[in-house]
A and B are shown apart, each in its own frame.
Chain A
């Protein structure tokens, strides 16, 4: 029997960040259980972007603190080669008067929190992205400090730093059941049983299944999102271009390839990571319209991953009151990677009973019972 103080279920960026932040605060008897390899779930399939431009104070601050950590992550975690940070900004396009109004409200909020984002006219947008099709564009918001980080390397950096501090990471170890006796939880896997008084559910799209093992109903459902990557070309596109109107995003990574994705509002809520030719066709049509120069760039590969969607598209963070010692960090709804440094820090603080760096009450599971949903106006 493997006995630990804390067991974290899920070897994505969230699980590894929590493990590191626990160990860095002295809690070193931690095991991470991952069903396949690290980043095999949503982390390794995500769009690799981070942004400050949110529409609520909570998310703006969460992003600001998390990005500050990403900027110095390689140094802090002693990760040679870095985590491929590129801060070319996010250009978020507005096509309707309602979007313009909301974006300007967001900007005022961001400014009040010390986030340097601004409104740009279509002409100014073309100075940032010279080949942008500005047809129908009312303007955009731009924050130069938004950008890209490599999710594989960020996760690897956390995992290595955690291991150095004594954390045990078990890959290809799939959780099959959880038994609770008193305060002790026994996590049964295909590679034997693990015991700890504290279990953290960081299982992303599988979080609801893990919840059911301890009788907790988590309103987190998997939703497929598709994405593609092109061949690498010379640096052409500075910022991530994002359009809520077209439901798309596109950015060029430091490696030179373009990563782009498209949301489909009719996507069924199920665990599906297969890709479709319909996506390839729709993505190509929309992106070639918006950024015509990309028509000559070749698609190398397409794939899919799942968002772990919660009813208000905001994560659930904290302990489940009915099951003391069972914690949840899931439901990130498509923005888990970019805030993972802060998720790790806040979860470590919650688990260790320390004061939290930022307020976390709005992320409690009980909001879905009381109806106090956390509404963020600025999500894809």
Chain B
């Protein structure tokens, strides 16, 4: 993969930007996510997470299996506020 390869398709983050963050001292997925937004889009990092983890492992000599993953946050898929606003009342009756 070259520098211009987009690793996070939701937020248009290139490999170059990821490498820049690692060069700036970032060692974890959490740090890169917060500085570059990769993993903050609608897919919540399903595509970029392993790609970036691989890059961190390669550039910092860590074992990819030992890298901490960012917290998986709800909802699992993007949901409209209107849908959520209707759902609450129904659940309260249950």
User: Which positions in A face B, CB cutoff 8 Å?
Assistant: 36-40, 44, 152-153, 156, 160, 171, 229-231, 255, 275, 277, 280-285, 287-289, 294-303
Contact = CB atoms under 8 A, between A and B. Distances in A.
B94 interface: no
Contacts of B27: 171
B61 interface: no
B54 to A, nearest CB: 20
A288 B74 contact: no
22 contacts: A39-B34, A153-B35, A160-B24, A231-B42, A281-B87, A284-B82, A284-B83, A285-B85, A288-B85, A296-B80, A296-B81, A296-B82, A297-B81, A298-B80, A299-B79, A299-B81, A299-B84, A300-B40, A300-B42, A301-B73, A301-B75, A303-B71
A297 B35 CA distance: 24
Interface string B51-94: 00000000000000000000101110011111111011101000
Contacts of A275: 73-74
Given A280-B75, A282-B88, A301-B44, A156 B80 contact: no
A295 B83 CA distance: 8
A231 B79 CA distance: 10
Q: Which of A287, A294, A301 has the most CB of B within 10 A?
A: A301
A282 B34 CA distance: 27
B28 interface: yes
A308 B34 CA distance: 22
Q: Which of B41, B74, B79, B91 has the most CB of A within 10 A?
A: B74
B82 A231 contact: no
Contacts of A152: 34-35
Contact of A300 (B78, B82, B89): B78
Contact of A295 (B41, B42, B82): B82
B91 A281 contact: yes
B41 to A, nearest CB: 7
A297 B37 CA distance: 19
B38 to A, nearest CB: 13
B75 A299 contact: yes
A299 to B, nearest CB: 5
Contact of B80 (A160, A283, A295): A295
A287 B34 CA distance: 26
A299 B40 CA distance: 12
Contacts of B81: 230, 284, 287-288, 294-299
Contacts of B31: 37-38
Nearest to B91: A281
Contacts of A296: 80-82
Contacts of B41: 231, 300
A44 B34 contact: yes
B85 A302 contact: no
Given A152-B35, A275-B73, A301-B44, A281 B88 contact: yes
Contact of A284 (B34, B71, B73, B84): B84
